[in-house]
């Protein structure tokens, strides 16, 4: 059984990966995509997308982070993968799952799932430059508008040399609307000779159990559910070790106390990374998801929601016992 941390463009960046991998033990993670078009990206670009490359490809907590490539040109993707290999990444992943209209209009992400032959060409080209020992994976959805080509796409990736496939069990058009169609993952796992990992709509331990049962696979990648509940992965591992009949109820008060230092660290790092005008939005984005599970997060979110300046938020956090020293960029 493995638990993986998903790539989430615009949300799960290196700062959030840092705090989430300190809160829970993930087997590996994937960074946001590096968009490949018609040129070989410089090393500094890869290091910006995946700063963990400066730390042996791992977060501070030691979680390996694979670098994800997005594009549609097999030769250019292969050239970029060869260049990326020089940085000794913890692995290389291909993105066939992003449903964003802007990305899809430029022939990237899930829109390519209408073209299994192109998926094979991309996987084969990248496989030819990724040396043995460097994990080579891909993430896909069930299709563009329906799942008619899901099995063909999975076979194309496996035949092209991909070692494992993460399947987000929705189509591009379904976006993130519930439900995720986990039984389709079982069909894909039966169709390919490589490991398949389930992804999509896992918000709780109960969802995790149902996902594994309906998909028939042991490994699950967590996305928004992990952001909304940073300690879920830890509770799952505790359940796995003890095998109780039911998961015990989470102690949200105790977990909130443990989460407060991580919130403070996240807020400090965000202020160091982005302009002061953008930092509040990033903090509110995480709190908005946390309030699904933590009443304290809901209270805090409502209080800082109208605020636009970091010093205002610093004062509120201090009142809530969250020590977040102002940074040079927050003034």
Residues belonging to the active site: 98
Count of CA atoms in the C-beta half-sphere (13 A) of 247: 19
How far, CA to CA in Å, does 98 sit from each of 55, 77, 102, 167, 221?
27, 17, 10, 12, 15
């Amino acid at each position: 059984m493995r638990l993986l941390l998903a790539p989430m463009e615009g949300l799960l960046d290196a700062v959030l990966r840092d705090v989430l991998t300190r809160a829970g033990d993930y087997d590996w993670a994937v960074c946001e995509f590096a968009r490949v078009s018609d040129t070989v990206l410089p090393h500094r670009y890869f290091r910006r997308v995946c700063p963990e490359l400066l730390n042996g490809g791992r977060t501070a907590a030691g979680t390996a982070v694979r670098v994800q490539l997005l594009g549609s040109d097999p030769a250019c993707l292969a050239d970029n993968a060869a260049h990326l290999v020089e940085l000794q990444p913890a692995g290389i992943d291909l993105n066939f799952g992003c449903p964003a209209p802007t990305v899809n209009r430029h022939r990237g992400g899930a829109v390519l799932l209408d073209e299994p032959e192109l998926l094979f060409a991309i996987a084969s080209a990248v496989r030819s430059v990724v040396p043995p020992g460097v994990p080579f994976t891909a993430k896909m959805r069930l299709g563009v508008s329906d799942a008619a080509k899901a099995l063909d796409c999975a076979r194309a990736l496996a035949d092209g040399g991909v070692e494992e496939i993460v399947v987000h069990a929705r189509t591009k058009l379904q976006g993130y609307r519930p439900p995720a169609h986990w039984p389709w993952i079982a069909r894909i796992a039966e169709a390919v000779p490589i490991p398949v990992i389930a992804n999509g709509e896992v918000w709780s331990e109960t969802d995790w159990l149902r996902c594994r049962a309906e998909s028939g696979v042991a490994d699950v990648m967590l996305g928004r559910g992990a952001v909304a509940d940073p300690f879920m992965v830890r509770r799952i591992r505790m359940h796995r070790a003890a095998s109780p009949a039911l998961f015990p109820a989470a102690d949200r008060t105790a977990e909130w106390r443990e989460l407060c230092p991580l919130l403070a660290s996240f807020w400090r790092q965000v202020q160091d990374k982005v302009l002061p005008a953008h930092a509040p939005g990033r903090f509110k984005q995480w709190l908005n998801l946390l309030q699904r599970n933590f009443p304290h997060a809901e209270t805090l979110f409502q209080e800082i929601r109208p605020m636009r300046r970091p010093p205002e938020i610093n004062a509120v956090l201090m009142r809530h016992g969250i020590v977040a020293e102002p940074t040079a960029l927050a003034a």
